[in-house]
Copies of this chain bind each other. A is one copy, B any other.
Amino acid sequence: MNLKIALLPGDGIGPEVLAQAVKCLQAVEETFNHTFAYKEAPVGAIAIDKKGTPLPESTLKLCHEADAILFGAIGDPKYDNDPDAKVRPEQGLLQLRKELGLFANIRPVLSHPTLLNKSPLKKEIISGTDFVIYRELTGGIYFGEKKLNEAGTVASDLCEYSEEEISRVAHLAFKAAKGRKKKLTLVDKANVLESSRLWRKVVTRIGESYPEVTLDYLFVDNAAMQIILNPTQFDVILTENMFGDILSDEGSVISGSIGLLASASVGDENALFEPIHGSYPQAKGKDIANPIASILSAAMLLEHFGLHEEAMAVKKAVDKSLKKGIVTSDLKSKSQYGTNQVGDFIAHNI
């Protein structure tokens, strides 16, 4: 298969972890006889530095032309505590999601047998966890109208959803549930929010065309508890943009390290794959960042194009590194393996 892959390393540890994912994709090319063409472009803080904008036209163009995008990480603390900053790195990612129509963010949450002890949760609580969060990604309060009055004393954000926006991600989530444990949990705050009540109405109606899938509802505050109290109860969680942001990061604690979790952001025409961790600027350039989330993002990319055997080969190589303890220090204290060595080991085992 020929694939055009856009590489967007971004900020902080983005470039170094992405480089390991590319090594693995190259190993897949060799072993399975594919041809992937890579082109790189700046996004985020680094793009602001270079071009004055977090998402340069040329980067967006490259993404539109690519079959898929492999993304590193975004964000730089120098913007976070400046409420008056006019441009922010994160805008690059948000705009990219919007411009490419990447309306569904898919985040698998698994407990890894070899890492059960790394989690802050008890073994018996997390053992067997296997759910996936479908987060709506281009609507809601992230993209609604923002206002600040002239005096700078009143600020607002609008959370708006249309039936259409809810419906397209809901269909993806129901289809996923159909192929899994056949349970879908809608998370909302329908006892308070009008937009949540629309979610409940639309999702309930769509559920009728998936009679094999059991549909459950949870308020978001309760969901934030249930994910920790009893994570094995879930199969597919469907939710809006902001709730999904919070719950998927919360869910990451189950795995034992946020450095293990990958995500796919898909739309009708394009797809982007990225670790769920941030740019972790304190670790930048130190060769200590865990590359596995980025490598597993590459596996999700392969999966997306139906390359199941290839994706499996990557995942198996990752498993091997975990089992053998060829991992970075977030997973094994005083580990002598760096980002590059872990990447090399996994690539060689594909």
Instruction: Tell me whether A195 is interfacial, beta carbon within 8 Å.
Output: yes
**Number of identical protomers:** 2
CB pair B193–A141 under 8 Å, yes or no, is yes
Contact status B122-A195, CB under 8 Å: no
Q: Verify B250–A192 contact, CB threshold 8 A.
A: no
- Let me know if A160 and B153 touch, CB within 8 A: no
Q: Is the CB of B194 within 8 A of A147?
A: yes
Chain B residues with CB under 8 Å of A195's CB are: 155-157
Q: A159 on the interface (CB 8 Å rule)?
A: yes
* Bound: A165/B38 CA distance, A: 50
Decide if A307 is an interface residue (CB 8 Å cutoff). Answer: no
Which residues of B are found within 8 Å of A80, using beta-carbon distances? 190-191, 217
Q: Is the CB of B156 within 8 A of A75?
A: no
Q: In the complex the two chains form, is A224's CB within 8 Å of B197's CB?
A: no
Query: Quick check: which of A7-15, A61-69, A239-247, A284-292 contacts chain B, the rest being far away?
Result: A239-247
Closest residue of chain B to A241 (Cβ to Cβ) is B192
User: CB distance B120 to A141 under 8 Å?
Assistant: no
Q: Do B228 and A250 touch across chains, with their CB atoms under 8 A apart?
A: yes
Q: How large is the interface on A (under 10, 10 to 19, 20 to 34, 35 or more residues)?
A: 35 or more
Q: Which residues of B lie under 8 Å from residue A191 when comparing CB positions?
A: 75, 79-80, 88, 90
- Chain B residue numbers with a CB within 8 Å of A217 are 80-81
Per-position binary interface string of chain A over residues 148-176, scored 1 when its CB falls under 8 Å from any chain B CB and 0 otherwise: 10001111111111111000000000000
Contact B162–A159 (Cβ < 8 Å) = no
Residue of A83, A148, A245, A247 most packed against chain B (CB within 10 A) = A83
Q: Is the CB of A228 within 8 A of B120?
A: yes
The distance in angstroms between the C-alpha atoms of A192 and B79, with both chains bound, is 12
Contact B194 A155 (CB under 8 A): yes
Q: Which of B125, B157, B200, B221 contacts A246 (CB 8 A)?
A: B221
A155 shortest CB reach to chain B, Å: 4
- Nearest chain-B residue to A162 (Cβ)? B154
B122→A81 contact, CB < 8 A: no
A198 near B: Cβ within 8 Å? yes
User: 1/0 per residue A182-196: CB within 8 Å of B?
Assistant: 000000011111110
Residues of B within 8 A of A308 (CB): none
Could you say which residues of chain B place their CB within 8 Å of the CB of A3? Answer: none
The answer to whether A225 has its CB under 8 Å from any CB of chain B is yes
Contact of A200 among B81, B198, B243, B248 (CB under 8 A): B81
> Which residue of B has the minimal Cβ distance to A244?
B221
A190 touches B250 (CB 8 A): no
Q: Does A249 contact B (CB under 8 A)?
A: yes
A201 and B84 CA atoms in complex are apart in Å by: 9
> In residues 64-97 of chain A, which contact B (Cβ within 8 Å)?
75, 79-81, 83, 88, 90, 94
The 6 A-B residue pairs with the shortest CB-CB distance, nearest first, are A155-B198, A156-B160, A221-B249, A146-B194, A224-B250, A83-B197
A-B contact pairs, 23 of them (CB 8 A): A79-B191, A83-B190, A83-B198, A83-B201, A94-B192, A120-B229, A141-B192, A152-B198, A153-B164, A154-B160, A155-B160, A155-B161, A156-B159, A156-B160, A157-B159, A157-B195, A221-B245, A221-B246, A222-B249, A222-B278, A224-B249, A224-B250, A228-B253
Binding site for B on A (CB under 8 A): 75, 79-81, 83, 88, 90, 94, 120-122, 125, 141-142, 144, 146-148, 152-164, 189-195, 197-198, 200-201, 204, 217, 220-222, 224-225, 228-230, 242-243, 245-250, 252-253, 258, 278
